[in-house]
Amino acid sequence: MNWFPLFCDLRHKTVLLVGGGAVAERKARLLLKAGADVRVCATHFSSPFYEWQQAGKLTLREARFSPEHLDGCWLAIAATDSHEVNQQVSDYASARQMFCNVVDAPAQASAIMPSVVDRSPLMIAISSAGDAPVMARLLREKIEALLPQHLGKVAAWAGALRPRVKSTFNEAGQRRRFWEKLFHHDRLAQTLANGDDKQAEKLTEALFNEPLAQQGEVVLVGAGPGDAGLLTLKGLQQIQQADVVVYDRLVSEEVLELVRRDAERIFVGKRAGYHCVPQEAINQILLEQAGQGKRVVRLKGGDPFIFGRGAEELEALSGSGIPFSVVPGITAASGCSAYSGIPLTHRDYAQSVRLVTGHVQKNGELDWQNLAAERQTLVFYMGLTQAAEIQRQLLAHGMSGGMPVALVENGTSTRQRVVAGQLSELAELATQAQSPSLIIIGRVVALREPLRWF
C-alpha cells in the first residue's frame, strides 16, 4: 500500500488552491462542499471563481504563488498548467510538513484526491495512486449505479442511534449483530428514503425489542490454494461476517487481508519456531469460541474436506451440539495444475485422477501397485519430504522412470514456481523446491509447455 487512505475534516480549515482554470475549478467545488475555508491564488481566474467570491464562499488573490501564501493552511493543492509552479508549491509545502496535492502529477504530490462516491455521511473513495485515473473514474461510475441514494439517510439514522446501541448492548458481537439486522431490514431503508421518520422510529424500536441470537456457530471455509481471487463469493461473505477466524499456515496473506478488520484471528498452523497446534486443541478452540456465542470461521487452505481434517472438526462440533456449515474451496490439485498449464485429465493420456497424501510410511500403507498404473494422474499433497520414497515405490511397482513429474511450489500465488522433470529425478527435484509444494505425476505433465499461461 503506497498511499495511506485517510478522510480529513476540512470544515473551517484553510486550504490554499493555486490555479484558477478549469482543473482548479473542479478542486474548488470539492473543497467548498467539504466546508473548507478556501484561498485561491492565480494570475487569472475563470468566471465561477468570481461568482464564488461574490457569494462569500472563498477568497481570491490575484498574484503569482509565493511561500507566504501557505501561512495558516492545513492543505495545499497545486492545479496550474505550469510544472515549475506546481513543483514550487509542493516543495514549499513539504518544507512546512504540510500535505500537498499536485493535479495529474502524483510523483510531485504528498496527497492524492481520489474519485468519490458521495452518500454523506457514507463516503467511498477510489484511487489508483495516480497511475490510472480513468480506471478509477469508471469504477466510481459502476459503484454510483449500484448504491441507492438513500444510503446516506440510513447511515445518518445509524449515527444517531450509536449512543443508545452502545448503552443497550455490552458486547461488541451483540452490537454488530444489531447493526446487521438494522442494515438488512427490508423496510427501514425505504421508509427513511420516503422521509417517514415516525414509521422509521417504530421499526427501529421493534429491532431493539427483538432478542439477539446468542448461540454461536462455526463455518468451515475453504480458502483455496493461495490466489485470493480463487476464494468463493460465499467464502468471502463468511470471513467478512466472522467474529473469530481460526486459520492455518496454508491460508495466504492475500486471503487474510479480506477478513473483517475487527475480527479476532487465531493462528493454529505450523511455522518456523512454533509447534503445530494439535487437532484436539483446534477442536477445543472452535468449541470454546462458538460456546461464547460467536460466529466462528475455520479457514483452511484449499478445500477443507481434501486432506484438511475438516470432517474431524465437524464431528467434534456435532457431538457438542454446535451449529455448523461448510463452504467448499478450490483444492490445491485443481488450482495448481490449472495455473501450471497441466490438465489433470486428457482423453489421450489420463482418464482418472488420484489425490494422495504424501504422508507415507516406509513400509507403505498405500496401494502402490494401482498408483503405478498407466493412463492416470497422481497428485501428492504434502509429499515433498517423502519424494524419495514416492519415487522408489512407483519405480518398484512398474512405473516408467521417464514418467513426467512437476513440483508446484506456492501454487496460484505470485510466487508460484514449477520444477519439472521425470520420475527418476523426483528425489533430486524435491531438494530444489520448498514447502508448500504439490507433486503431479503423469503423462499430462508433458503438456505444460504448450498450455501454460501463468
Which amino acids are annotated as binding site for S-adenosyl-L-methionine, given as ranges? 225, 301-303, 306, 331-332, 382, 411
- What is the phi/psi pair of residue 186, to 5°? -75, -15
Tally Cβ neighbours within 10 Å of residue 316: 18
Three-state DSSP at 143 gives helix
Q: Which three cell numbers stand for residue 118?
A: 458521495
- Rounded to whole angstroms, the Cα distance separating 449 from 426 reads 19
Query: Which ranges constitute the DSSP H helices of 243-367?
Result: 253-256, 279-291, 310-319, 332-340
- Rounded to whole angstroms, the Cα distance separating 77 from 90 reads 8
Tally Cβ neighbours within 10 Å of residue 293: 17
- Rounded to whole angstroms, the Cα distance separating 382 from 424 reads 19
In the chain, what's the furthest Cα-to-Cα distance? 93
| Nearest in space to 323 (alpha carbons), one of 214, 218, 177 | 218
Annotated binding site: 22-23, 43-44, 225, 301-303, 306, 331-332, 382, 411
- Rounded to whole angstroms, the Cα distance separating 269 from 246 reads 9
* Catalytic residue numbers, as ranges: 248, 270
Annotated binding site for NAD(+): 22-23, 43-44
CA atoms within 13 A on the CB side of 377: 26
Its sign, for the CA torsion 356, 357, 358, 363, is negative
